Structure 1
Amino acid sequence: MNEFNERYDTDSVREFTVSDADAGPYALTEGPDGALWFTLVHRGAVARRDPDDGHVTVHPVGDGPTVITAGPDGALWFTEYRAHRIGRLTPEGAYSSFAPRTPEGGPFGITAGPDGALWFTLSSADRVGRVTVDGEVTEYPAPGAFPSALTTGPDGALWCTLNQGNAVGRLTTDGHGTAYPLPTEGAGPVGIAAGPDGALWFTEIGAGRIGRITVDGAVTEYPLPDPAARPHAVTAGPDGALWFTEWGGGRVGRITVDGHVSSYPLSRTDCEPHGITAHDGALWCALETGSLARIEVRP
């Protein structure tokens, strides 16, 4: 595939068509080769966007590739939600996959851990898994229901959202879990990222809020201007703020560490922005309708 089509351009936002509307760009990350890699959840593929000319290369993988991250071994690692496997793809396109110990577990979130392994959630099984770069898998009980996204915290532990447990969980690398309940009922946390302030930041898709939790478990919540925004994914930006997708409103939001919120409208309110990542000095997010959006970071 070689498609590079700018379809929306404002002072701060540009969108690039990278697939047909049925392929479903879902999550993205910067690869070890400096390119932008993203999952096509409905096509069963992972794609690469060249940083120089925008050329898109598509690699078939297992069914339902969802969240993707760069691994410590120079490869891309991702969850295959419908195939119930963990996928690995080298920048050259060599694909392999590994089965978790729990069948039908619904792997969703994945991150490079502090111990040189990849950690992932099994959302349907209420478990968290660990896979080494050689494919050895270990699993632990999650500290609550429906673990979703996860990230490595500044304390050397894994932190995950417990979407149906209405909590944020902490898991040590030896499998000891702790859950921190959220103040707002029905918050439904999804995305989580380590912030520049030594805390973890997360989205509350059910409550229209952005949350912050310290490594000691103290929670602060920030309501968004649009209660129906349905914030989904979050990442630390190159400007010292946190950036997140507003799936319900077709926007990308920004929140400073002191709680000031602003947002950037995308081309359509129904463009379904999901994953977001920093890349090449800007923020990029995946729109399930077939595009990647680039949001300029302005002083």
Structure 2
Amino acid sequence: MNEFNERYGTDSVREFTVSDADAGPYSLAEGPDGALWFTLVHRGAVARRDPDDGRVTVHPVGDGPTVITAGPDGALWFTEYRAHRIGRLTPGGAYSSFAPRTPEGGPFGITAGPDGALWFTLSSADRVGRVTVDGEVTEYPAPGAFPSALTTGPDGALWCTLNQGNAVGRLTTDGHGTAYPLPTEGAGPVGIAAGPDGALWFTEIGAGRIGRITVDGAVTEYPLPDPAARPHAVTAGPDGALWFTEWGGGRVGRITADGHVSSYPLSRTDCEPHGITAHDGALWCALETGSLARIEVRP
């Protein structure tokens, strides 16, 4: 029996089919209505899983919906990577979208900012954008190459991974950027989240590591048991630890604030877990093969 089963029990991971295998569940977020919302990147849709009966409702949107987040206006906001737009969907299903100022920018990451606006990355254009809930768009140069995921830090700035710059970037709300290089070459950082310890935590998909950076720029890296795990997304869990997806091995990982790593298998090594979020006291991750996995968290 592995460490996960010893601590949580064999019934603590459940998977729910929410689409066909070609639709591609990718990113998820808890909505203002208490439901779980997720993108179907290959179907051009955003879906809602009802918290009571598990019923899935699918809403067509623009091409390539990728990362999704809850906005300050009671709507869901998401990037449309292939349509090069920022999408907005109300819990009632009303859809609208906004064009960044830079065309063909490849919007990827998105987060609610500290200033009441939504912030997003334009990975292909090396820029970071800001859109108000009324649709007014501003853009700034990213502090490095290929900005990917981003989040609001405890210091009131935006923090993003610079996937091709091998660095983590910090951007103030007035557009001043700073890059912090990573110690490991070819780390390829992707996911990033604010941790419960006042630091930012990120995944190194190219190096098989989880990184931690303080708001002063001090970086620590933690190697995973499987160097080929290809960690992708990361989120703070309800248990005070950070949880992340291992795209390369079909697992969900957990790392404590002091660096203790555990890795727990999902049903298939090729299930392609991508986004992960806390919801209803558990961790949920999107499996690109057509399911959502729920991981129970126990004290």
Q: TM-score under structure 1 normalisation?
A: 0.97
In the alignment, the residues of structure 1 paired with residue 267 and residue 196 of structure 2 have an alpha-carbon distance, to the nearest angstrom, of 30
Deviation at 1:6, TM superposition (A): 23
Instruction: Point out where structure 2 has 5 or more consecutive residues left out of the alignment.
Output: none
- In the alignment, which residue of structure 2 is the partner of 1:8? 8
User: Given the superposition, is the C-alpha separation of residues 59 and 9 from structure 1 closer, same or farther in structure 2, using an over 3 Å criterion?
Assistant: farther
2:8–2:298 Cα contact (<8 Å) kept: no
Q: How far apart in 1 are the matches of 2:33 and 2:3?
A: 20
Q: Structure 1 9/87 Cα, relative in aligned 2: closer, same or farther at 3 Å?
A: farther
Change (3 A) 1:73 1:217: same
Shift in CA distance, 287/7, structure 1 to aligned 2, threshold 3 Å: farther
Structure 1 pair 196/85, CA: closer, same or farther in 2 (3 Å)?
same
Contact 1:5 1:17 in 2 (8 A): no
Structure 1: which 4+ aligned runs deviate by more than 3 Å? 1-10
Report if the CA contact (8 A) 1:8-1:14 is conserved: no
CA RMSD of aligned residues (A): 4.4
Q: Determine if contact 1:2/1:56 at 8 Å carries over to the other structure.
A: no
Residue 298 of structure 1: how far off its partner (Å): 1.9
Query: Structure 1 CA distance, aligned partners of 2:194 and 2:113?
Result: 12
1:209-224 alignment runs, 5 A limit: 209-224=209-224
Contact 2:235/2:276, CA 8 A, preserved across alignment: yes
Measure the CA separation in 2 of the matches of 1:84 and 1:2.
44
Specify whether residues 64 and 246 from structure 1 end up closer, same or farther in structure 2 by C-alpha distance, changes over 3 A only: same
Could you list the per-position Cα deviations for residues 196-242 of structure 1 after superposition, in whole angstroms to 9, with x for gaps in the alignment? Answer: 00000000000000000000000000000000000000000000000
Task: Give the direction of change, closer, same or farther, for the CA distance of 1:7–1:240 in structure 2 (3 Å limit).
Answer: closer
Contact 1:142 1:177 in 2 (8 A): yes
CA–CA distance in structure 2, aligned partners of residues 132 and 65 of structure 1: 19
Say which SS state the counterpart of residue 4 (structure 1) adopts: helix
Aligned residue for 1:102, secondary structure, equals: coil
Measure the CA separation in 2 of the matches of 1:3 and 1:297.
14
Unmatched 5+ stretches in structure 1: none
CA contact (8 A) 2:4 2:264 kept: no
Q: Is the 8 A contact 2:14 2:295 kept in 1?
A: yes
Measure how far apart 1:9 and its partner are: 10
- Distance in 1 (alpha carbons) for counterparts of 2:72 and 2:23: 28
Identity %: 98
- Pairwise CA distance, 1:264: 1.5
CA contact (8 A) 2:27 2:66 kept: yes
Equivalent position SS for 1:5: helix
Answer whether contact 2:8 2:296 (CA < 8 A) is retained: no
User: What is the deviation of 1:10?
Assistant: 3.8
Report how far residue 84 of structure 1 moved.
0.1
